[in-house]
Amino acid sequence: MLNKIESILFECGYQKDNKGIFISGNRGYWSNLTKEDNDKFTSALELYDPKSAVKKIIPQLEKMIFSEKREAALEFLNLKENGVCIDYGCMWGVMSVGMAKRGQNVIAVDQTYDSLYFLNKRKIYESFDNINIVQDDIRKLKFKEIADYAIVNGVLEWVPEVGDIEISNYYKIREIKKYNAGSPDTMQLKFLQRVCDSLKKNGEMVLAIENRYDYQRFIGKKDPHVNLLFTSFLPRWLSNLISKIFLGRSYRSYIYSFKELRKIINKAGFTSCEMYMSFPDYHFPSLILPYGSSGIGEYKKYENILRTTKKQKFVYYIEYVIMKFFKMRFFSPAIILVAKK
């Protein structure tokens, strides 16, 4: 007998393959791994349980895939029993698993079959019967008022970047590339409108992204999406020129300030938006504070085991001074927000 989510997915035109993954026909590739490495990883999943396969083939990503610290943003959702959640661009499914553990029925969507294959193996191994896995292009989803919650975690900035992407090569290779799609901000707005449309009335979206004006970008830390200096906060036309010179392609991975992000969220159709500052990032947050004068007033020292070098410790000292004493919250490293339809 079909469960409620399976019925919705079949009605939307998806077909289930022999692995239990719903297929749309819209294939793509975005991964931290090269296709060759993903082939090795997929082979290992036939021999080992999911965690053992990760430790054997991609140990450097174990924390990224399994750390419960990455689920911190989910605590800001007003979860109800047996709700429906869409995880947009779920990759290996850390947020999907987080919602499943919290008793939600999850639709985990990604274009990369290799990532979904891993999530499916983990789903089976850990008995998460409330995760439904869908291969599709998140830019083309047409769900209408089916979900109570939506997750857009580290995804919005990648929406305008079309085509297959192997992150390890994307940062290094100069590739002449032309884009037929619309402007990055227009594509991002249309995507957020689709997310809003997928939610029921009063449904909530949690979104996490780097802050365009992260203080670290002004003192030599490279743009995390193109590996270039200063492009995140410079005027878009200038970042575009720099990207074309050094990478051969347009600058499309737009990120936003707190004010800019609130504006695009409201324009997409959401009625309210609660914003938070996340330190040292949104991937593994150690400190999350409400965005506002009272929130930054609660800033305090926090642990970060990855901060080991003298340079990293000095950078943290800069953060401590500008946040603790000068209250410059608009320079916070990352943004987590919860928007309500």
The model's pTM is 0.96
Q: Please, which residues have CB within 8 angstroms of residue 246's CB and are 6 or more apart in sequence? A: 174, 228
Q: Which two tokens stand for residue 180?
A: 């037929």
Helix pair 113-125, 35-45: axis angle to 10 deg: 20
Question: What is the distance between the alpha carbons of residues 332 and 25, in angstroms, rounded to a whole number?
Answer: 40
pLDDT band at 239 (very low <50, low <70, confident <90, very high): very high
Q: What's the mean pLDDT in 121-139?
A: 97
pLDDT at 175: 75
pLDDT at 205: 98
Residue 8 CA neighbour count, 13 Å, CB half: 20
Helix pair 184-198, 258-267: axis angle to 10 deg: 60
16-70 pLDDT, tens digit each:
999 999 999 999 999 999 999 999 999 999 999 999 999 999 999 999 999 999 9
Average pLDDT, the chain: 95
| Cβ atoms of 323 and 296 closer than 8 Å | yes
Residue 84's DSSP bridge partners are 105
pLDDT band at 2 (very low <50, low <70, confident <90, very high): low
Does CATH place domain 4-340 in 3.40.50.150?
Answer: yes
pLDDT at position 305 over 90: no
* Furthest CA-CA distance within the chain: 60
Cα angle 328, 330, 331; round to 5: 75
Q: What percent of the chain has pLDDT over 70?
A: 99
pLDDT band at 1 (very low <50, low <70, confident <90, very high): very low
pLDDT at position 188 over 80: yes
136-181 pLDDT, tens digit each:
999 999 899 999 999 999 999 999 998 899 998 888 777 777 777 7
pLDDT at position 335 over 90: yes
77-114 pLDDT, tens digit each:
999 999 999 999 999 999 999 999 999 999 999 999 99
pLDDT at 331: 98
274-290 pLDDT, tens digit each:
999 999 999 999 999 99
Question: What is the distance between the alpha carbons of residues 82 and 258, in angstroms, rounded to a whole number?
Answer: 32
Give residue limits of the domains in the chain.
4-340
